[in-house]
Structure formats: structure tokens, C-alpha cells
Chains A and B, each alone.
Chain A
């Protein structure tokens, strides 16, 4: 996990509990998109989040939810800032996040590809994770892109159930 170390302050806890609008079983802390929470004397609370995908439509919702939660926790001045670098990777999803995903029937991502040099082209049959329902490895990917930018679609040939997986990125 590459997540920055942030002191567990009341402001941090209030921001960290914000659910992700697209995968509400996860908080933004579980997802690894909460970067820092600073309580500045001059600017109030500054919460820094990082987008999962460039076009992620949930970023505005998350910012609004973070503001609302901090207001309810008694913090009046709240700013939500974006941080692009370093880019988010699914490796930042916490162990708790992996556990919650699996419990919700969504296969957690495998380790993100580590690259030096050009991204290699993938032409072979796609890998597919174990079924989050029955645990069988006998699954196949049915679609590379799912209902949200971060997920792909799969089917388990053992129990016959379709399921989603978070793409390793």
C-alpha cells in the first residue's frame, strides 16, 4: 500500500467515512482515493482526493459528500482539492477494501501491473479472477468494461453466476 500516512484526527475520520457513490460498500479511504486531510488555521479543513479515472463522474459527488460530512461533524470551512500525481492505482485499495468488495460479490483486483518501459500489448485470452460467490477459479471474462469505469464483467462456469470485478490498474 502506497497510501500516505495521515494522522487520525476528527476531521480525517469524518472525511474517511464517506462512501463511494458507485461502490457504496467502500469508503473513500478503503478505495485509496483520500490522500490527505489537513486542518489549516487560515483555510479551514483541506481534503485532498485523487480521481480513479480521468472521466470519473463520481468525483463531484464525493467532494459534495465530504463537505456535507465535515459540516455535520462541526467543521465550517472545508475545501476539497484534487491531486492527480501520482496517479491512483488499484493497489491503493486497502485490505479492508478487498474484504468488503469480496463480501459484496465483486472480485477484488489482482496486483496492478508494474511497468518499466512501454506498456505491453495484451492479445492472449484475458485472465479472470476466482468467483467471489463460490470461489471457483473456473470463470471467464464476458466484457472488458462494465457498468462503471472501474469494473469488468465475468461469469462463473461452476455456479453459473455473473459477477463484476474491479480491474487491476
Chain B
């Protein structure tokens, strides 16, 4: 057996700097382009384009910020199976965020990166539930149950929205959100109906997060669909009953001068998320990925 002469000029890292004429990138998943490429993105007659852009941006911000919160959990979860689950849910939401930001950006003349990385906190329209920092796994699954049950109901309604692009993005998201909700509901039942300690922690999570729900049902002049609170409550009550948890009676989190997350008013947590989310792009404003 003869060993071939080593080729010291064959350096795999050279690939990073090479220009590939066939469109392949140096690493899987890089080389981002418009996620709506090839789709007719004209705004239908009769729709207010500015309102549509604001609404898509708000729905995109919900997903972007929530996804970031979930990504922060990765490598800190109790089991490998939960790592893959939470990472997958974060990826689904990031995909929804990219399409929604691209939809808004197409109308506003801005790219998805520009919208994600170069807006100030007061320009983000996500609900405050999305930015909450989960203090433990119970808060993670209770918050995910609330968010995904609400967003699933909303996306079901939006599947027949007047804007065909938003309707298609929503219809695509329905199946994903149904998986997220089932995952979260399964854990809420297991923890709520588990040990005395897991039950106490899950009830505490529910009590702590409850005030953030009120904002989800505020009237929104830009909205192209609304969630029936009765439908949302029915889902939540089914899970709480199976989990042996009590529905809290806490009042909704106060508005600030009549404004909330959709109006760009956020909790203290939001600044820390944006600092982390935006730091690389702001340090290297011309970078591409």
C-alpha cells in the first residue's frame, strides 16, 4: 500500500474565499436571498399598502423576537429531544419572520436585514409576550402554549386574508404552529399533572405570564384578521383542565399612555434582545451572510 503524496496546496479553507459560479455557498444555509423571490408581490387594489406593511412587520416582529428568545434556550434545555424541538420551533418562526419582513420590506423599499438589524426598539411592533425572558422550562412551555395557540388561530383566519401573499405565508405557517402548540400543550399537561414541584412551578409560570395575554386581543386598525378570544380560551381551558392548573384572574399588563407592543412600547427585556440580535450587523454594516 502506498500513501499518496500529501497536497499541501489543497486547503479546504480556500473554498471560503472562492467565487462559485453555480451559486453554491461556503456553508449550508448561507447565501440568503429574498425568500419571496419569484412571487407576485403587487399589493391588491383596494388595500392600504402602508397599513399592510405595518401589519406584516408586526407579525414578522412577533416571530423574529420570539425565535430569538427560543434560540437563547438552545444548549440549556433539560434533554436532547427538547433541544431539537426548541431549535426547530425557533427555525420555523424565523422562516415566518423572514417572509413577513420581506413582504413588508417590499412595500417599504427596505430589505429584511435592514428591517431586522437597523430599526430602533420603538420601531418594533411585536407584542410584549414575544420578548418575555423565560425564567425556567415551565415558563418556556406555558408561554409557547399561549403564543402558538394565539398565532395559530390568527394564521387560520389570515389564510383567507385580502392580501394573497400574507394569506399564503399564514396558510404555510398553520401546520407549523399546530405542531408548536401540541408540543407546548403536551409539556404543560405533563408538568401541571406531574410532581408537586412541577405543578407549583407551572402554575407560577401561568400566573406570571397571564397579564401578557390581554394585549393579544386589543383592536388593531391595521389587522386583516382577528382571533376570537372564545376560541383561544377554549383551547387554553382544555389544556389547563387536563393539567390540573387553575386559570388565573390577574389583570392585563398595563398599557403605557394607552400604548403597548404593537405601538413600539416594550418591556425592559426588549433592549437586551436587540443588543444581542443586532450587534454583529451593526458592527459590520456591509456584511452579507
**Which residues of A does B touch, CB under 8 Å?**
21, 46, 48, 51, 53-61, 63-64, 67-68, 71, 79-89, 118-119, 121-123, 142-147, 149, 153, 167, 169
Q: Which residues of A contact B24 (CB under 8 A)?
A: 61, 64, 68
Q: A82-B38, A119-B178, A123-B189 are in contact. Are A67 and B23 (CB under 8 A)?
A: yes
Contact A83 B39, beta carbon cutoff 8 Å: yes
B interface bracket (residues with beta carbon within 8 Å of A): 35 or more
Contact A54 B84, beta carbon cutoff 8 Å: no
Residue B36, interface by CB 8 Å:
yes
Residue B93, interface by CB 8 Å:
yes
Known: A144-B179, A167-B179. 10 other contacts (CB 8 A): A54-B99, A64-B24, A64-B25, A67-B22, A81-B39, A82-B35, A84-B36, A89-B175, A123-B186, A145-B88
From DSSP, what is the main secondary structure of chain B's interface residues?
A: helix
What are 18 sample pairs from A and B whose C-beta atoms fall under 8 A apart?
A53-B92, A54-B169, A54-B173, A57-B91, A60-B29, A60-B30, A71-B22, A118-B231, A119-B152, A121-B185, A121-B235, A121-B238, A123-B238, A123-B239, A144-B182, A145-B81, A145-B87, A149-B88
Q: Which residues of B contact A87 (CB under 8 A)?
A: 168, 171-172, 174-175
Contact B95 A119, beta carbon cutoff 8 Å: no
**Which residues of B does A touch, CB under 8 Å?**
22-25, 28-33, 35-39, 81, 84-85, 87-89, 91-96, 98-99, 152-153, 156, 164-165, 167-169, 171-176, 178-179, 181-183, 185-186, 189, 231, 235, 238-239, 242
Which 7 interchain pairs have the tightest Cβ spacing?
A81-B38, A55-B95, A54-B95, A143-B81, A57-B29, A84-B168, A85-B168
Q: Which residues of A contact B95 (CB under 8 A)?
A: 51, 53-56
From DSSP, what is the main secondary structure of chain A's interface residues?
A: loop
Closest to B167 in A: A85
B217 to chain A, nearest CB (A): 17
Q: Which residues of A contact B38 (CB under 8 A)?
A: 46, 48, 79-83
Contact A54 B172, beta carbon cutoff 8 Å: yes
Contact B239 A51, beta carbon cutoff 8 Å: no
Contact B92 A54, beta carbon cutoff 8 Å: yes
Which of B23, B85, B93, B174 touches A68 (beta carbons < 8 Å)?
A: B23
